[in-house]
Chains A and B, each alone.
Chain A
Amino acid sequence: MSLATLLVLADGRLPSGGHAHSGGLEPQVSAGRVRELDSVAEFLRGKLATTGLVAAAFAAAACARPGNGAEFDQGIDVRTPSPALRKASRAQGRALLRAARAMWTLPSAGREPHQPVALGIVASAAGLGALEAAVAAAHGTVSGAASAAVRLLGLDPYAVHGLLARLAPDCDRIAAAAAKTAGAPVDDLPAAGAPLLDIGAELHATWEVRLFAS
């Protein structure tokens, strides 16, 4: 396993479509639930413990068993009640595959797999293990929303990165748990949900004016 390869894959500058998505933050900002640094911290913590946990588990499992992508893809579908979030996840999975095809030799992974499934398959093709795939997934669920927070709320970027640094041990912990279930049947993988993210995403998709695609 190459640590530098993991950094390449987890780099926020990887052109894999993430910049257009707020990770569910934009609707919560608009609803007034997230306003300043403290509420951003709460938002990120909640996201990590729910959708972050699921993403890490599926990335780890898809990395361990890249040939079972279709099964994991269904597993994420049933764990994502919001059609808008399913669409956003598939769009980002497709974009990740596009970027990764230029970086490593990928097995066939479908046209538009969910992002965590794509991430697991790509990590495996890059020679990374399930734990690394899970770390990248957990970190990705908070770092994308954190950068959206800087843009949406005009927050101090140093303070926001302070939050990410404090969340790093949580990302590691979640990833370690995810790596342990990498061989589990898909139905036994975590299914934590965050209903406000689903509701927010559905409302957001109906707005006429928005800054982020999701």
Chain B
Amino acid sequence: MPAEPHAAPHTHEPDEVPHTHPDPGVDPHAPLAAGARALRVGIGGPVGSGKTALVAALCRALGDELRLAVVTNDIYTTEDADFLLRNGVLPADRIRAVETGCCPHTAIRDDISANLDAVEDLEAALGPLDLVLVESGGDNLTATFSKGLIDRQIFVVDVAGGDKVPRKGGPGVTAADLLVINKIDLAPLVSADLTVMDRDARARRGELPTVFLSLVQDRAASPVADWIRGLVAARVPAA
């Protein structure tokens, strides 16, 4: 079910909507200046879709090659941060939990101050970082990150939510820089049709990439880790 390989090399029309290239892992958005600060990637999506499991997998996959840190946003507790600690994927000083006051989407979109404080505190305490992952509290299909907080965002949905989710759209599904359809190992159990999800995701997202994933089968979240490697590699040195 992976997205079709890009016809490479290929050209772009000047007025074309910007899109990412899942296949070569090269990002054609205006490149982010390297060096000034870490690349910040937001990870959003509905409750229980696998955001924390994805963060843990990315820490396992990238922890040795990138200087990375994580900010979690839990609605009630520090559950997500605790999970990452328990699983030993990252040392405690690389994880910060932000409390979101009833409204997880407010903390990542309308009033991002607590998250920015957390990112800045991590960089102040740890020195320069390559990558900061910001996990939002589980929310609904309308929750997206502010560009004031993150550089790129991943939206995680799962097949157990029904194969209708990509069709329903919403800014997370339509506009996230990467859509992850997780828990494909469960598809037969919940009668989810992945070809329908793939077709609907393409219709909603144009050329923005979508990947299918099972975090129980692929503990390194390979397609997502590759996408992030591409983003980091594409950063241009600061002038």
Contact = CB atoms under 8 A, between A and B. Distances in A.
Interface of A: 13, 15-22, 91, 94-95, 98-99, 148, 151-152, 208-213
Nearest to A20: B101
Interface in B75-122: 75-77, 99-103, 106-107, 110-114, 116-117
Contacts of A91: 114, 117
A209 B101 contact: no
Given A91-B117, A98-B116, A20 B75 contact: no
Contacts of B77: 208-210
27 contacts: A15-B111, A15-B113, A16-B113, A19-B106, A19-B107, A19-B110, A20-B100, A20-B106, A20-B107, A20-B114, A95-B114, A98-B116, A98-B117, A99-B113, A148-B102, A151-B102, A152-B102, A208-B77, A209-B77, A210-B76, A210-B99, A211-B75, A211-B76, A211-B101, A212-B101, A212-B102, A213-B101
Nearest to B106: A19
A95 B77 CA distance: 22
A213 B99 contact: yes
Nearest to B103: A19
Contact of A21 (B101, B110, B116): B101
A212 B103 CA distance: 9
Contacts of B116: 98
A208 B76 CA distance: 8
A157 to B, nearest CB: 14
B110 A13 contact: yes
Interface of B: 75-77, 99-103, 106-107, 110-114, 116-117
A94 B116 CA distance: 11
A121 to B, nearest CB: 17
Given A211-B75, A211-B76, A22 B101 contact: yes
A94 B117 contact: yes
A99 B106 CA distance: 15
B114 A17 contact: yes
A19 B117 contact: no
Nearest to A152: B102
Contacts of A99: 113
Nearest to A209: B76
A20 B156 CA distance: 25
A211 B102 contact: yes
A212 B99 contact: yes
Contacts of B75: 211
Given A94-B117, A209-B77, A211-B76, A17 B111 contact: yes
Given A15-B112, A95-B117, A151-B102, 18 more contacts: A13-B110, A16-B111, A16-B113, A17-B114, A19-B102, A19-B106, A20-B101, A20-B111, A94-B113, A95-B111, A98-B113, A98-B116, A151-B103, A209-B77, A210-B76, A210-B99, A211-B101, A211-B102
A91 B103 CA distance: 18
Contacts of A151: 102-103
Given A208-B77, A211-B75, A17 B113 contact: yes
Most A CB contacts (10 A, CB to CB) among B112, B114, B117 go to B114
Q: 6 tightest A-B contacts by CB?
A: A20-B101, A95-B113, A15-B111, A213-B99, A17-B113, A212-B101
A16 to B, nearest CB: 6
Contacts of A212: 99, 101-102
A29 B76 CA distance: 16
A19 B114 CA distance: 10
B99 A20 contact: yes
A151 B24 CA distance: 46
A17 B110 CA distance: 10
Contacts of A148: 101-102
A65 to B, nearest CB: 26
Contacts of A95: 111, 113-114, 117
